[in-house]
Chain A
Amino acid sequence: MRESVVRTAGLAGTVLYGAAIVWMYAAQPQTVAEVTGGLTSTIGAYRIDQQAFEDGLAFFRRDQFEEARAALSRADPAGRDTLTQFYIAYTCYRQGWGRVYNDDALFKNGLQAVDRAIALAPDHRLVVDDPNLGMRTADELRAELQRGLTRDASDFNPLRLIRPRR
């Protein structure tokens, strides 16, 4: 009886360990926070730091984008929360946006963040009900960031100078 309990426990532990290894090879986490966050999110136990998220949101609404990104990154160190990643992408967009040219590095970071948000969202669909935002879906934000990184003839359209930031 005792032997079968030991074997069953060992088997269960081994299967869990093996699954964690397979997940790590698939997800390629870069930090310990990403490892623990990824593993806890697979069992639905991942929680962001709500206070840091609220701080980040407050900074975002005051157009303090560097501060907002720092707070939002602290709130979601594993990059596993859809909404936080969406707002991180939005800070990149608003800070990197320019009438004449955009900051490509920030737009690339924003694109990565919004891609993470879309990948994590249920059915890959994310709608954010925030009246302060010009774009309330992750798809719109992604398209805008993508457009900002693309070089084409429309870049030379003088009407670009009067377009609004969203």
Chain B
Amino acid sequence: MSPLREAFALPCLFLTVALLGGLRLGGDVRLVPPPLVALVLALLLTGSLVRSGVFTPERLLNQRRTGIENACGTVVLLALFGASAQIFNLLTPDSGLLHVLVSVFFLVQLLTTLTAVRDRIAMLRSLAVLLGCAFFLRFIALESLYAPGRGVIKRVMTALMEGITLGALDYVPTGGATGYVAFLTLTLYLIGLVLMPTGRDNAASTAVLWQPAEPDELHGDLPALRRE
């Protein structure tokens, strides 16, 4: 991975996601910090990304790299964690029963992914679908349902849902502009994940990381294999 990508592109992308993830453009401008559950989900997501090979932490942090290289790698990892937390903050409704339901949905989905998905491409596809669905649910379905000045049918539907859940299923619309910012944020996050270093994209670097044992160590007293 080039130093430009590691020192500039990735931190800039992820920090922008961290900034925009909490932005709510309603009647006033609010910057919402991530709740505790978003940090837990971000930790699970980071673990899933590592296990599925979306990125290889050894490419960012290892003892063969210099101090400044390791510092850059640490910054990328921290920025990725912050961006992941803000992505969950963005896609989860801010309060109420919907906040709990969506958080539990994310938790279960991430635990399943953590244990099942082992392939980089499959993980990226799975994550894009998961985040895309959550985006659709919050910024298209719920925003449309709870938008101010909605029609009679929508008002009846929301009143019924709130009545059935004894008022727990409440949602405060964030405003139309927030949806566009959320779309941009989600796109930047996925681009950032694609740009993360893997163990496969640089053969030379991988070769340095994986040093094969000496033939004698492998075969003991057996005669070493000869190559023609």
Chain A residues within CB distance 8 Å of chain B: 3-4, 6-11, 13-15, 17-18, 21, 24-25, 28-30
Contacts and interface: CB of A to CB of B under 8 A. Distances in A.
Contacts of B7: 6-7, 9-11, 14
Interface string B59-72: 00000001011011
Contacts of B22: 25
21 contacts: A3-B3, A4-B66, A6-B4, A7-B6, A7-B7, A7-B69, A8-B68, A10-B4, A10-B7, A11-B68, A11-B72, A13-B11, A14-B7, A14-B11, A18-B79, A21-B18, A24-B19, A25-B31, A28-B30, A30-B28, A30-B29
Contact of B31 (A8, A14, A28): A28
Contact of B15 (A3, A8, A14, A25): A14
B50 interface: no
A21 B8 CA distance: 16
Given A10-B3, A11-B72, A17 B28 contact: no
Nearest to A10: B7
B12 A17 contact: yes
A30 B25 CA distance: 10
A6 B4 CA distance: 7
Nearest to B5: A10
Contacts of A29: 29
Of A8, A10, A24, which is in contact with the most chain B CB atoms at under 10 Å from its CB? A10
Contacts of A18: 15, 79
B184 to A, nearest CB: 16
Top 9 nearest A-B pairs (CB, nearest first) are A10-B7, A14-B11, A10-B8, A6-B3, A7-B7, A3-B3, A21-B19, A25-B31, A7-B68
B190 interface: no
Interface of B: 3-4, 6-8, 11-12, 15, 18-19, 22, 28-31, 33, 66, 68-69, 71-72, 75, 79
B22 to A, nearest CB: 7
A7 B31 contact: no
B33 A11 contact: no
Contacts of A9: 7
Contacts of A25: 22, 31, 33
Contacts of B18: 21
Contact of A17 (B6, B15, B68): B15
Nearest to A3: B3
Contacts of A30: 28-29
A24 B29 contact: no
Contacts of B75: 11, 14-15
A4 to B, nearest CB: 6
A132 to B, nearest CB: 36
A4 B68 contact: yes
A17 B17 CA distance: 12
A6 B15 CA distance: 18
Given A13-B11, A25-B33, 20 more contacts: A3-B3, A4-B66, A4-B68, A6-B3, A6-B7, A7-B7, A7-B69, A7-B71, A10-B3, A10-B8, A10-B11, A10-B72, A14-B7, A14-B12, A15-B75, A17-B11, A17-B12, A17-B15, A21-B15, A28-B31
